[in-house]
Amino acid sequence: MKKVVIAGLLAAFGAALFLSAADTSFPIYFPNSKLLVKADVMNRTVYLPVKEIVQQMGVPYTDAIALETLTMRSGSNRLVVTKNSALISYNDQIILLPNPILREDNRWLAPAEFLTMGLTRLTGTEFRYRPGTSRIFAGNIEAPELEMNAQTLGPITRVTLRCAVPITLEVKREDPTKAVLTIDHTPLDPTRERVDHRDRLLHSVAFDDSDGQSKIVLDMVREVADLRVTSAENNRVYFIDLSRTPEPLTAAPPAAEPPAAAATKPDAVQAERKVRVVVIDPGHGGMDTGAKTAAFAEKDLTLTLARKLRAALQSRLGATVLLTRDSDASMNNEARSAVANNNQANLFISLHVGYSPNEADSGSSVFVMKEDFGESSAPASSARDRLFLPWYLGYRMHRPGSTAAASILEEELNKGIPAWKFTVRTAPLAVLSSATMPSLILEVGNLNNPTSAQTLVDSGFQTRLVNSIVDGVQKFSESPQAAN
């Protein structure tokens, strides 16, 4: 008995320590209704109004002001709470809550745990509450799980939403720094309430259903000029891409590198060309070194070639040229093609260096996507990349253009570097699957061949290779198969 009295005194003393409080709207979802209450957050504890909740559930109660007790009944069962006490009584059985019951301005306030530890016993209704969230689910109501993520993909920032059921989004930009995505399904159960992602476009992504309507709030910078929404997996996945007003990249390759072409200004026929934006993808990067020898790695060679190719395309064709990465950064396949998709590129070229177990192999390849890729089933992939597979048929719209570009590039490369035997091939290539423009992979040489490896790092060879690629891009740009 002494322990019970001491516990009660400690609870009352704890209640006196609540020095400040903050109000927040808090939805409680029932199978056929929802209740929006004003929750008080005091010392990091969520307090809910007891009488409003039991009234919503049709539970009779007696508020004994003189006794400072609130008694709730259901049949022959009785639940009693006392002001400033963490002890509640269910059919005379004492239950200790983690925080005391409060009574302020004629409002009985109970910690959220009171629902699961007290009301569930009285009514048989199960309450589900996860600490740190701002909602409660009652009874057998279903709340599909919602995942939110954000990532920087080159010049864009992508917010990815993944829901267990199909949803529809309505996007509204309330002011230059805030966008609200209203979801047509309520309730939802977000795995995270907020995602902090501070880059040059986005600050945070937050879930908000304080008014009983599921929403996503984007806190972004004023410079965001475009919000592009794309659905996938039958509206179970949404990509929200944030971007600035597109600007041509003017960065030049390192000063020590020789110029890739002699021309210093765009050709006079520039306006007649259909390829205006080119995205170059230096293969691999970060922990993914690609093929390598004792002296160098594929990821470094592809970046060097990509920088030279960017300078040459800008100089000779006056094109806007973007790199998927301009440093030793790691990117997944979808992130690479997303740079091309979101910048409305007219051509996407992924650069790679070959490696064959046979040292005698000296051929090089121009790859395009396999024609029947994805017809019967999705390709094998990691769990990370599977999120993006609904876009895997994007290549089909421009596959004829991809084949034409590959054939033209093959011809120009064999003309400029005849000993390297460039051949057009097809394969199920993940980096090309979701590209929505003519796209190809250029794989050059064989790092397992010492002669080939040494030639690949030769500056003169790199210039010849880049010039041949630019010749191919120029010829394709003037062809009827180029993207409009």
d(CA 469, CA 478): 14
CB within 8 Å of 377: residues ≥ 6 apart: none
Distance CA 408, CA 387 (A): 34
Predicted pLDDT of residue 393: 57
90 contacts 124 by C-beta, under 8 angstroms = no
pLDDT, one tens digit per residue, over 5-63 is 334 433 433 433 333 445 678 999 999 999 999 998 888 889 999 999 999 999 999 99
Q: Look up the pTM and report it.
A: 0.51
How many CB atoms are closer than 10 A to CB 203?
15
Terminal Cα distance for the chain, rounded: 85
Q: Give me the phi and psi of 30, to 5 degrees please.
A: -105, 165
**Scanning the structure block, which residue is given the tokens 């120009």?**
412
- Rounded Cα–Cα distance for residues 256 and 205 (Å): 43
Per the listing, tokens 């993006």 go with 388
pLDDT tens-digit readout, 416-473: 998 899 999 998 888 888 888 999 999 999 999 999 999 999 999 999 999 999 999 9
pLDDT tens over the chain, length 484 residues: 434 333 443 343 343 333 344 567 899 999 999 999 999 888 888 999 999 999 999 999 999 989 999 999 999 999 999 999 999 999 999 999 999 999 988 899 999 999 999 999 999 999 998 888 899 999 999 999 999 988 887 788 889 898 989 999 999 998 899 999 999 999 999 988 999 988 899 999 999 999 999 999 999 999 998 898 988 878 888 989 998 865 443 333 444 444 444 444 444 444 456 888 899 999 999 999 999 888 889 999 999 999 999 999 988 888 889 999 988 888 888 889 888 888 888 999 999 999 998 888 878 999 998 876 655 544 444 433 333 334 445 667 788 899 999 999 999 999 999 889 999 999 888 888 888 899 999 999 999 999 999 999 999 999 999 999 999 999 999 998 885 4
Decide if 241 contacts 339 (C-beta within 8 A): no
| CA angle (442, 448, 453) in 5-degree steps | 65
Structure tokens of 66? Answer: 């003189």
Q: What is the pLDDT of residue 6?
A: 39
- Long-range contacts at 381-388 (CB < 8 A, ≥ 24 apart): 381/430, 384/332, 385/332, 385/333, 385/334, 385/430, 387/160, 387/162, 387/237, 387/334, 388/232, 388/333, 388/334, 388/434
Residue 373: per-residue pLDDT: 62
> How far apart, in whole angstroms, are the C-alpha atoms of residue 121 and residue 140?
16
Give the DSSP H or E segment for 280.
strand 277-282
